[in-house]
Every structure is written in C-alpha cells, then in structure tokens.
Structure 1
Amino acid sequence: MPKRIIIAGGGTGGHIFPAVAVANAIKKLAPSTEILFVGAKGKMEMEKVPQAGYQIEGLDIAGFNRTALWKNISLPFKLIKSFFQVRGIFNRFQPDLVFGVGGYSSFPVLKYAQQQGIPTYLHEANSFAGKTNQLLGKNARTVFVATPGMEKFFPADKIVVSGNPVRSNIVNCQLSKTDAARFFGLDPERPILLSVGGSLGAKSINEAIAAGLDALQAAGIQLIWQTGKPFAETAKTATANRKGIWVNDFIKEMEYAYAAADALISRAGAMSIAEICVVHKPAVLVPYPFAAEDHQTVNAGYLVKEEAGIMVRDGEAAKQLVATAIRLMEDPAKRESMTKKLALLAIRDADELIAKHLLQ
C-alpha cells in the first residue's frame, strides 16, 4: 500500500474539487497516507487545496494561450523551470505514486514520474480527453474516465470507467428545500432558479441573466446567482433594489444551492455535469465554446442525448437563455422527466472507487 501520494493538476474547480474528493476518500480508507498536491502558482488550487486541509506546492508554469499566441514565447522556459521544480519536490517527498487530474500543471509532474519509473494514474473528467492526458495516458498504469467510449483517446486495457468524483457534502446532502431556501433568504414556497458559471464565472450567462432580471421576476422566479469575481460588482448593482435574489461571486455551500433550486443554468464542465446528475436537478447548459477541443459541448450533448438536459449555445445565450429557463421552470412535467433520467446517470461513489484502485 502506498504511503506517499502526489496529486497533480488544477486550474479550475472542475479539476480541484474531484482531486480533493479523492484525497478525502484515500484518507478515510488509509488515514496514515501522506498526500501532497502540486499545482500552478497563482491559480485557484493554491487557495482551495489548503482550505481543504492539504499541503500544496506551486510550479512556475502556464498553459498554452490560444487567443494571444505571442504570450506563449516564454512557455518553453517555464516548462523547463517547472521540471527542475518537480525534481526538487520528488527528492523531498519521495512519492510512491502520482495521480493526475488534468490541467497543464499535471504534465511536468506526471511526465517526470514516468521518466523515473514511478507509477502514474490519470483521471479524465470530460467526454473528450484533454491533450495533456492523451499524452500521459500511454505510459500511465490506469486511466479513470467519466464516461464509456474513451478508447479513441486511451489504451483500452488501461481504462476504468469510474465517473467523476463529487464532493461528499453534495453526494450525502439531506437538506430540505425549505431549510436551503431560507439559508439564502428566499421563500421556499416560490420557484428558485440557480445560475452558476463555473468557479471562474461565465460572461455570456451573467450578461443574459442581468438583461433578463425583469422577465424572471415577472414570472415569479427567485434567483441564486453565482457570478464569479469579474461580474460580481455589476451583478450586485443590477440587483440592489430587487427582492428574491441572492448574488455573490462564489458559493461555498453548493449543497445548499442545489437543495434550494428547482432548476439551474450552468456551464457544461465535467464536474458541473456530474453534480447535476447526482443532485438530479434539471439544467439549461451553456457550454463554454473556447474549452479545449470544445469538450463542454460534448459534455452537454451527453445529457441532451439522454433527454436529461437542455442546451443553449453560448452565442445564443443573450436571446434564448432566460426564456428557455423560464419555460423549464413553468413546466413541472418536463422537470420531473429530466429528474428521473438524471438519477439513472448519477455515479455517487467515484471518489471511493478511484481511492481503492490507488491504494491497491
């Protein structure tokens, strides 16, 4: 049984929260295991991982910038520097294995481990595998994936369909809508729409919600609105004199938000999809169009195909998003049908399944 494990990756909540969920499952099964996270300096893992009670080391590394190519000039130097930093981390910590959750900071960590003959394991959260994981998957011991049909990205004999690890406070939530709604200062007897744009916010969703506040309130719909930091002040100004709205840049207590909501608007990141399935909440999905290989559209398409989700394209959000959400909120039969189909897609124990594989 491994005594020291490095967990590498991050950049967004979609990488960080499942990594923490797996770490928690490992500590539950084998409390003496030492766990060290490795991420990228300046990214949200440097804040969220210590908040979860784990140590993290940061690398001086950046991802490939697809919109401003000139900004990639320093990328090779940062990559070389990160390998020297990784070597120092490995010499100090002496890991028995390395688990990668995606994001560019995972590449130098797992690549160095593979060069040193240290066992590596990957988790691919999306329905379309990222380039980093595709490169690393060839020499990994096991690749955990969220959905079937990933043989086009990874060797078939290395794939384990695990699903995506969802935070235990969401999986095990027993909150009533009444208690959850009151937590946000809302009326539990009236419909509640939850809008989340991922951990970093979503410009198109936020702008559509801001423009549609009158329509939402005319329909008698209350709103829990996670804006992300860039749009927070604009949203607070727009909602200053309106009742039935809770707004903030980040929702720490997501289990309360899910329990309070009758339906939600969301990006289509892998973890958002996994959580939507676990909590069985009907959703209007707005895939981020600039995600690598457009994987969020693939993720959303997975739910749409199963008649468990509704998709609105990012470019159509301004005109269609709020109207689509209102139609869903006003159609209880549609919501009930989607709820039943989401329940069939939910995987509740992915964190424990992965943890057991790693410990074996």
Structure 2
Amino acid sequence: MSQTGKRIIIAGGGTGGHIFPAIAIANAIKEQSPDMQILFVGAKGKMEMEKIPQAGYDIKGLDIAGFDRSSLIKNISLPFKILKSFGQVKTIFKSFMPNAVIGVGGYSSFPVLKYAQRLGIPTFIHESNSFAGKSNMLIGKNATRVFVATEGMERFFPAEKIMVTGNPVRKSIVSSTISKAEALAYFGLDTTCKTILAVGGSLGARSINEVMAKHVHELESLHLQLIWQTGKTTAAIYVERGKSYKNVWVSDFITDMDKAFAAADVVISRSGAMSVAELCVTKKPVVFVPYPLAAEDHQTVNAKYLVDKNAALMVKDEDAQSKLFGTITMLATNVPMQEKLIQNISRYAVTNADEIIAKEVLQSIQ
C-alpha cells in the first residue's frame, strides 16, 4: 500500500446508525483533503463489510463479537476473539500506518482505538446517542476529542474533550433535490394518495412489521399507500405479505433513502440517533416506536426529547399492536397536525456535522 500522504482509519459499524455517519465523515474528509487515504475497519460478517465497499472505500474485517446478553454460554469465546482482534489490528496498523483513528461505535471500534492510543496516535470518537456506549466511555478518557450529538454528555466523557457537533447525516439526504412526484414514480406509487414510510432500522423492528402485516389490507380503503422497509430479520415473511398489494412497496432494505423521505407524507420509525437526525433534516411528521431494549432505554430518551417539544409523536413498543395503526392513520389524514410537527422538528436539523468533524480531525494531523 502506498504510504504517500496522510492516512486515517475509521473503525466501527454493526448497524446503519454507525455505518452511514462513518461514510458521511469519510466523504467530508476526502472533500477537504482529497489526497487523504482512508481505511475502514469493521467486524467480519456485519453490515459494514457490504456497505463500505459500496460507498467506494476499502475495509478490513476483524474476528470479533460483542457481549451476548441473551446467552451467557455464547460469551465463553469472547476473550479469545478480543485477543485475536488485537493481533489483527496490529497487522493492519503495521501495513497502513495511520496518522489518526476515528471510532463511530460498535464493538469493532474498541480494539482499534485502544491500540492506537497505546501507540500515541490521535484518536477521535463520535458518540451519536444521548447515552454513551460502554466501549466509547472506556476509550473516551484518553481520546483526543469526543464528538457528541447533544449537550449534557459530561457524565460520560471528560468535559474538556467534548465537542457538540450533532450527528452526520448522509449528503444524499441533506442535499436531495428529488421531487415528491419523482420519488413516488420511483416506488411505483400513486401521486393522489397519502404515503406512509415504515422503517425499523437496517435490522428491522418486529413490532412495526407485525402491525404493518396485520393492517396492510386496510390501507387501500383509507386511500393510503405504504413504503415498507422490513429490515433483514425475518424479511421474507413480510416481503411476501406486502408484495401482492399495488399500493405497497416492500423490501428488506431501502438503498435510496432520500427518495423514500421525499415520497413520504408521514413516517413510522425507531428512534435511534441517526434516524432522529435524518427525520429532523428531512422535516417529516413521525410516529416514533422506540426500541425498548436499547442501552439505558436511550431510544425513548431520543424520541421524548422531540415529543416534549411537540415535534413528533410516540407509541411505546408494548402498545404498538393496539395503538400504532390508529395513530399513523390519524396523522396521515390530519394535515394541520402534520404542518405543526414539520415546523417544530425542522428546528432541530443539523446539516454540517460531518464537515465540522472532518475539519477538527484534519487540523490535528497537519
């Protein structure tokens, strides 16, 4: 590998909520410093091994797994995997020789940043959530800078290291110019119907999917149509359920999320940090269904922040079966409420977090 110019490693992944901000940061770095070499490091078998090359970047995979809370027996091999991953990281560093390392969350970021800190290489963390992940807290003590989405993160990181930047949203979403009519044509849907977008994250949300599957046959009589991302988990069942309806577009993954947002009148979504950031930028009336098992219940915290400001609606996961369909159909037909939510959620849009982070990282290695 050529060793001319400066080099940065970006580590982490596991879900779209970590991967897409990482790509946004990488693109901003390349924009500000076109000669910069960037290498991603992720976990073998995870989503990043597919999505990062699609974005035009090289990635190396580690043999590592996170702590399995559902089955303690599965964690027996964890110490060996962590040791092996440190060996792999050492080999990657020897070959690539990074000048800085950025961690975006996910368990593959821990050995990479820990090893970089041992070598005295500048390390940066991006923490997208209002509750910091455990590995980020451990690494944060010795990080050069910790980029966070919201105020009040001093309880997790040294105050002098924190920089509030917001969350990096994909440029394809921030800079989208696609019209609603073009977007609806892309999904093969009708311009005269109100459109619901249902997304449960890259891995899917069972409660959202079950409600959509149960009520999908009712949409046409209500003059509604649906763009439905089922996520990877048990996708086949839900794709099969939705595909026979002409007013439903269904798939396990939406590649062109800018088009999905442009087509949607209202949205059902989990409230992970990146979903929230994207919905603020796209100014969409949303019903959040927080994932109840998120660490420290941070998805409820994320959603409640906007709900309390009359900028979103929320249905608890446990209430989804009884309340979600009624709430989303009410919102889809209540234009004044949509307008109020649009006006309020747009106040929390951050469109340049990736540029701020890129500039700060580049300044440290000039």
Q: TM-score, normalised by structure 1?
A: 0.98
CA distance in 2, matches of 1:43, 1:326: 35
Aligned positions, number:
359
The residue number in structure 2 matching 1:262 is 265
Aligned to 2:203: 200
Matched, 1:35 2:43: no
Contact 2:243–2:250 under 8 Å retained in 1: no
Within 2, Cα distance between the matches of 1:306 and 1:141? 34
Percentage identity across aligned positions? 60
Match status 1:113 vs 2:116: yes
**Unaligned stretches of 5+ residues in structure 1:** none
- CA contact 1:40–1:58 (8 Å) conserved in 2: yes
Is 1:338 aligned with 2:338?
Answer: no
Aligned to 1:93: 96
Secondary structure of the 2:234 match is: helix
SS in 2 for 1:347: coil
Q: Distance in 1 between matches of 2:189 and 2:58?
A: 37
Over aligned residue pairs, what C-alpha RMSD do you find? 1.1
Runs (4+) of structure 1 moved beyond 6 Å? none
> Residue by residue, what CA displacement relative to the aligned partner does 1:294-317 show, whole Å, maximum 9, x if unpaired?
221111112112211111111111
Assess if the C-alpha contact under 8 Å between 1:177 and 1:259 holds in 2.
yes
- Asked if 1:147 is matched to 2:150, the reply is yes
Superimposed CA distance per residue, residues 287-339 of structure 1 (whole angstroms, 9 cap, x where no aligned partner): 11112222211111121122111111111111111111111111111111111
SS at match of 1:58: strand
The residue number in structure 1 matching 2:72 is: 69
Q: Is the Cα–Cα contact under 8 Å of residues 216 and 222 in structure 1 kept in the other structure?
A: yes
Task: Give, in whole Å, the separation in 1 of the partners of 2:208 and 2:102.
Answer: 33
Equivalent residue, structure 1, for 2:289: 286
1:183-210 per-position Cα deviation (integer Å, ceiling 9, x unaligned): 1011112100000110111111100111
- Secondary structure at 2:318 match in 1: helix
Residue 168 of structure 1 aligns with which residue? 171
The alpha-carbon deviation at position 240 of structure 1 amounts to 3.9
Q: Is the 8 A contact 1:216 1:322 kept in 2?
A: no
**Contact 1:9 / 1:15 at 8 angstroms: preserved in 2?**
yes
For the 8 Å contact 1:224–1:247, the answer to whether it is kept is: yes
Q: Which residue in 2 is equivalent to 1:5? A: 8
Report the equivalent of 1:271. Answer: 274
After TM superposition, give the deviation of residue 236 of structure 1 in Å: 2.9
Secondary structure at the residue paired with 1:290?
Answer: coil
Shift of 1:69: 1.4
Q: Shift in Å at residue 343 of structure 1?
A: 1.1
User: What letter corresponds to residue 312 of structure 2 in structure 1?
Assistant: G
- Which residue identity lines up with residue 160 of structure 2 in the other structure? D
Q: Secondary structure at the match of 1:230?
A: coil
1:147-168 CA deviation, whole Å, 9 max, x = no partner?
1111111111111111110110
